[in-house]
Amino acid sequence: MRIIAKHAAGKVLKSDGFQISADAKLAKKKDPSIIDGTLGTFYFEDGSFKTFQTVHKIMNQLNDEDIYLYSTSDGGPAFKEAILEWAFKHTRKEIEASLSVAAIPTPGGTGALTSAVFNSLDPQETLLIPSPCWGPYVGIALNRAFKIEKFFMFDGDAFNMKGFVEKSEKIIATEGKLVVIINDPCNNPTGYNMTKAELEAVIDYLNTKKEVPCVLIYDCAYIDMAVEGMKKTRENMLAFTKANENILISVAFSFSKTFFIYGQRLGGQILLSKNKESVMEYYNAANYTARNTWSNCNKGMIRVLEEMTKSPALMAEYQQELDEVIAVLNTRAELFKKEAKQVGLQIYPYQGGFFITIPCDNNMLVSEKLVEEEKIYLLPFDNSVRVAICSLPQSDLKGLAEKIHRVIKKYN
């Protein structure tokens, strides 16, 4: 007798980043010389984790009602105002002039992705994702009986437009619609930033499919970690203003990353389209999904976002803290990239963010041998291993490329 539902039977979380990272953390407690480059959380050079002081300051000023009461499933008008300000900054007017816009809070970026995928596909339809990509994209699809198709992300050092189009054509031919996730900027796992021209090329291609409903899920979890800063990253999103009526863009925003509030669970789903009805339909479905799945989101964090967005002084304080984080990330990336070049270790194109990724076919064996022979914990991704520079101080990064290179040469 099998008690569990058919759709749930056999589902086991395997090779999950959280689990591998917990193992690495435990091992490091016993042996501090272990290098733990597994999880995407920012640690300062002294090995400490801290959220932003500006976040703390606002939290400390909130009263019990602000923190402990329910919020509404749609977040309310003040949330909408705050997230649109944050997500689009100086481009907001231009975005709103050419597209209908709606927004709803979600438990992290994961909630925004889950809701977007769930409300875009019917069972047995296909989600297109890049390879390599963040692992849960696969589970988000498979958990709800959707299929996945992958396209390789790179053509040399650029976005693989040809691969993206080939796989899109195949899905469109059989299913008559296209739903794709793109993670940009500071792509996880590679650190790649798409250029505005590349984003425009994606939109231009979808525009040619006039009769085909297309959903572009733009996962911008690490947008605020980009070296280029908030102005440039928002300007790139102006590419969306070119999208025709057949396209709906669902932006997945993660305050886990932007505010370093990982376990507090706040994100947002922003819906954009020239087709006003589609935006309203998606918004209503997202609100229905929210109320009947997680009910509502972290009220305290919603209030932090609202307060910070309203206050130029608080924004300036946060920006100063953020600039320091980005400078640290940049120094770490430069160090690793320089040493990788010196020893001839190939990496995927990196422009910013938390991770640098090394192509290697035998990723599982290489990950195991890195632990056994060098006490280095990294996460295996599709044909690659990922170094979380966000969590490694420069003292750990120094010499790391050489050790990884040695193991890859031996076992790949």
Ligand X SMILES: Cc1ncc(COP(=O)(O)O)c(C=O)c1O
Contact residues: ligand X, CB under 6 A: 40, 108-110, 134, 183, 188, 219, 221, 254, 256, 262, 267
The nearer residue to ligand X, 185 or 213, going by C-beta atoms, is 185
- The DSSP line for 101-167 is EEEEEESHHHHHHHHHHHTT--TT-EEEEEES--THHHHHHHTTT-EEEEEE-EETTEE-HHHHHHH
CA distance 89 to 82: 10
Q: How far is the CB of 193 from ligand X (least distance, A)?
A: 13
* Beta strands per DSSP E along 176-333: 178-183, 214-219, 247-254, 267-273
Q: How far is the CB of 206 from ligand X (least distance, A)?
A: 21
Please calculate the CA angle 220-224-226 and round it to the nearest 5 degrees: 95
Q: How far is the CB of 220 from ligand X (least distance, A)?
A: 9
The nearer residue to ligand X, 220 or 407, going by C-beta atoms, is 220
289: alpha, beta or left? (left if phi > 0; alpha if psi -120 to 50): alpha
Q: How far is the CB of 240 from ligand X (least distance, A)?
A: 18
Q: How far is the CB of 275 from ligand X (least distance, A)?
A: 26
Q: How many C-alpha atoms does 292 have within 13 Å on its Cβ side?
A: 7
The nearer residue to ligand X, 311 or 351, going by C-beta atoms, is 351
Q: How far is the CB of 91 from ligand X (least distance, A)?
A: 22
The nearer residue to ligand X, 111 or 359, going by C-beta atoms, is 111
The nearer residue to ligand X, 154 or 262, going by C-beta atoms, is 262
The nearer residue to ligand X, 198 or 219, going by C-beta atoms, is 219
CA distance 357 to 191: 8
Give counts: helices (H), strands (E), the chain: 17, 13
Give residue number: closest CB to ligand X: 108
